[in-house]
């Protein structure tokens, strides 16, 4: 009878621990970061850099507005694909919006080049159902590098 009571007491303390694990299996997906999340965050960051440059140099609007819009669209599509919202980037002190026109364009071109390299690397590693989107983002960023020359 003591053994039965001990087993019952032990089972009462172990069952809730394992029971929680049984019901939390769906949350495991939320804890594991999606490999596309950094690409989405980078798209938001690039859009923010272009918007900051636009605020400092309104004359660059015909060049920079479509690029910023493209980055925002990419972030949105990546958020849909991953099922997770992309947080807005925190403002970072960088030289994107400061300086003359050529300095601003050079800083943006460098950021776009880093973004293109990240997207190209991720494209090579992405599963087939994601590679098309990531490849088109890499191609768009390559186009942005050329447009900013």
Residue 90 pLDDT level (bands cut at 50, 70, 90): low
- Other CB atoms within a 10 A radius of the CB of residue 10 amount to 10
Specify the pTM.
0.75
The pLDDT assigned to 2 comes to 52
Taking residues 80-94, report their average pLDDT: 73
Taking residues 8-19, report their average pLDDT: 48
CATH class of 35-147: mainly alpha
pLDDT higher for 93 or 137?
137
Taking residues 12-39, report their average pLDDT: 62
The pLDDT assigned to 14 comes to 47
The one-character DSSP state at 98 is: S
């Amino acid at each position: 009878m003591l053994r039965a009571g001990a087993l019952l007491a032990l089972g009462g303390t172990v069952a809730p621990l394992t029971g929680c694990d049984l019901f939390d299996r769906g949350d495991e997906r939320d804890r594991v970061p999606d490999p596309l999340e950094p690409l989405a965050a980078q798209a938001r960051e690039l859009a923010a850099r272009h918007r900051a440059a636009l605020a400092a140099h309104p004359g660059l609007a015909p060049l920079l507005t479509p690029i910023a819009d493209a980055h925002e669209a990419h972030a949105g599509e990546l958020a849909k694909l991953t099922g997770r919202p992309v947080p807005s980037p925190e403002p970072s002190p960088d030289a994107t919006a400061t300086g003359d026109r050529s300095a601003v364009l050079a800083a943006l071109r460098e950021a776009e080049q880093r973004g293109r390299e990240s997207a190209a690397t991720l494209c090579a590693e992405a599963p087939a159902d994601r590679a098309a989107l990531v490849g088109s983002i890499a191609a768009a960023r390559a186009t942005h590098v050329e447009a900013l020359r």
